[in-house]
Amino acid sequence: MFIVENYSLAIILCFVTMLCWGSWANTTKLTSKTWRFELLYWDYGFGILLTTLVLAFTLGSNGNEGRAFVEDIKQADSGNILSSVIGGVVFNLANILLVAAIGIAGMSVAFPVGIGIALVLGVIVNYISIPQGNPVLIFSGVALIAIAIILNAKAYQKLQTNLSEGVSKKGLILSIVSGCLMGLFYKYVAGSMVTNFNIPETGKLTPYTALVFFALGVVLSSFLFNSLQMKWPFTGMALSFKDYFRGKTSDHLVGILGGVIWSIGMSLSIIASGKAGPAVSYGLGQGATVVAAIWGIYVWKEFDKAPSGTKPLLNVMLLLYIIGLAMIILSK
């Protein structure tokens, strides 16, 4: 199977992860106006599963190193399989709340708050589990990102005050809950995997196999989580499965594309974690907040109605994120 052999390549893959995770949510803005995110989310999950299967039967099954995908499944311990599936379930609940927050509050709010919290919590949890890298640099970087989160929340408050019709606080609350859950899912996937990708231990999963079971956890749990939010949505009227099957082909393809983009990012993060370590790999990938904030602020113009002084606040927020991410990179 394909294995990352040096730290520099691992960092490059983490940056691609950042771009993927920070950009996939743009697909929620590319569908028909009547195509709700609850409907898009089914195709998004299918896109994640499809991508992990393709990678498992290609990069995960070729080469002399590691263990091939089918062979890996045959020897896998059920506890490790369950751990990856749980990771998918936890992520799915967090992501459904995040997508809901995007629809209510916008990308430039939902991502910095939700994913920012996930980054802080996730780096701490993953570092405690597998302590790799200089803790002073890692946690100093995380502290700067935490300050950036606070600045973004203040910018959101300014926007909320300036809009005469008001902006619901529901989006901010959903972002916070999502971030707390999002910070926990990665450790379940990392915990199910082998520690040495080149010489995998018996019973543990290779990264490609872990990703497939993670994706299965996402798709299967959607039949609970997404069905519930279709019946009792955060905003708008209830939906049925008839609404999904009445969708345009283009809307379904956009949803699948969103899943493919996110899944490529997740896959590269997991593959890179062998050299970078889970804390660094996850932390850099969650720099997606910077990418998403740039989309929201400068492309989708979500803060154009904000009062003067808000844009400089957002620019300082982005700068702190970038410095924080640089410190995480230098930690190893």
The domain in which residue 277 lies consists of 7-330
Does the pLDDT at position 1 exceed 80?
A: yes
Q: Whole-angstrom Cα distance, residue 125 to residue 278?
A: 10
Q: Is residue 280 part of a domain?
A: yes
Beta bridge partners of 193: 205
pLDDT tens readout for residues 151-182: 877 777 677 666 655 555 788 889 899 999 99
Residue 2 lies in a domain: no
Angle between helices 278-285 and 135-162 (to 10 degrees): 20
Check the CA dihedral 314-318-319-323 and report its sign: positive
Specify if 60 maps to a domain. Answer: yes
Query: Contact at 8 Å (CB) between 46 and 222?
Result: no
pLDDT digits over 98-149, tens only? 878 877 776 666 777 787 788 889 888 989 988 888 999 999 998 898 888 7
Q: Is residue 128 part of a domain?
A: yes
DSSP per position, 255-293 = HHHHHHHHHHHHHHHHHHHHHH-HHHHHHHHTTHHHHHH
The pLDDT tens digits for 50-92 are 999 999 999 999 988 899 999 999 999 999 999 999 999 999 9
Is residue 15 in some structural domain? yes
Number of domains in the chain: 1
**pTM given for the model:** 0.87
